[in-house]
Amino acid sequence: MTQPAETSVFVYVGTYTGKGSHGIYTYRFDPATGDLALLGSTDAENPSYLAITADQRYLYAVNELGTFQGEPTGAVSAFAIDEETGLPALINQQPSHGQAPAHLSVDREGAWVYVANYSSGTAAVFPVGDDGALGEATDVVQHEGSGPDARRQEGPHAHSITLDPGDRRAYVADLGIDRVMIYDVAGTSGKLAPNDPPYAEVAGGSGPRHFAFHPSGRYAYLINEMGNTLSAFAYDAEHGGLTLLQTVNTLPDDFEGRNTTADVHVHPTGRFVYGSNRGHDSIVVHAVDSDTGALSYVGHVATGGSTPRNFALDPTGTYLLAANQDSDNVVVFRVDPDSGMPAPTGVQASVSMPVCVKFVVR
């Protein structure tokens, strides 16, 4: 009888490189113990957010910069993932068409990469060649407007760009204008065409940051950086519209310190939604009502470090890895399948200024 091939699980960590990080770190992950074994690093400048193709052959990273090749823009980089070692190797780079790119997504076919540029409030789309290389941008859109916070919302700040489950639309959470802008990307390849409806709005001063769809395709969740809230939406798959259902706090009622939220993810089972708090330094857990999409509070867990940025659930939902930017560590948690609560395993990896965590299972 033929034995099944051994599964390899890799973890990729994107970082800020201002304190000595080399760029992207690759670890082998042991799903039995949660252990992380460093395999190597790949040089890149401020590869703060990563995206990996569905076939796991290519990795894309934003280079969160204010200047690239002498121009006032950041960059986006393409990497090929070595089949044997798991290590990414640079293919090419393109200007991101905006300063401080903060997030990117790749469609399921690996044909297009979408980038959100925070400081400039722009979103851009790039074609991908057969070899994984990025072509020149085929479209760039400039957001307009401002919010009630004169310091942080003086103009648009596109913070993330997320594709819907069918790759028909792109959703750009813009912190500066308190909107999730919606673009039709299926009608004309390589274009960000305004959808109808063109956006969803949240309360003024909320500061939308990251956005995640529920695996059922019926709901979506938005974490609001400035308001320290999570917003639940009903999702209209036919027209792309979002209807606000509920907004809940990410902090305990008795917390009085300063805090901003960062990331949001839905458990693979769809039963729980997780958000990260920077200041309270925690992951908040809410349970999802499968009939309505509404959230109910479950609990908080300390992230074992300072300033958790992004975090990741492994594809089985058994583990959660939190990237603590200001304490230079990635902490491994095991998720209780019944309560959804993460518990620290005692495993952590030391890495300078970690921002983003991504899993690859082969």
Place of tokens 């599964």: 7
Listed in sequence order, the residues at least 6 apart from 235 whose beta carbon sits closer than 8 Å to its beta carbon are 164, 213, 214, 217, 218, 219, 220, 241, 242
Q: pLDDT for 124-161, tens place per residue?
A: 999 999 999 999 999 999 999 999 999 999 999 999 99
| Gap between the Cα atoms of 52 and 278, Å rounded | 25
Q: Which neighbouring-strand residues pair with 77?
A: 61, 93
Place of tokens 């990410």: 250
| Gap between the Cα atoms of 209 and 265, Å rounded | 12
Among candidate residues 44, 42, 38, the one with its CA nearest the CA of residue 11: 38
| Gap between the Cα atoms of 349 and 360, Å rounded | 17
Question: Taking the model in full, what pTM does it have?
Answer: 0.97
| Gap between the Cα atoms of 163 and 53, Å rounded | 13
| Gap between the Cα atoms of 101 and 106, Å rounded | 15
| Gap between the Cα atoms of 36 and 310, Å rounded | 17
Q: pLDDT for 242-293, tens place per residue?
A: 999 999 999 999 999 999 999 999 999 999 999 999 999 999 999 999 999 9
Burial 345-354, CB ≥16 within 10 A → b, else e = eebbbebbbb
- Structure tokens given for 318: 């058994």
First to last CA, the chain: 21
As a whole-number percent, the residues of the chain with pLDDT over 90 amount to: 97
Q: In terms of DSSP bridges, do strands 319-324 and 329-335 run parallel, antiparallel, or are they unpaired? A: antiparallel
One-letter amino acid at 266 equals: V
Place of tokens 């990635």: 330
Q: Which neighbouring-strand residues pair with 323?
A: 330
User: Which residue positions in the chain have pLDDT lower than 70?
Assistant: 1-6
- Structure tokens given for 116: 């959100």
Output DSSP code: residue 166. Answer: T
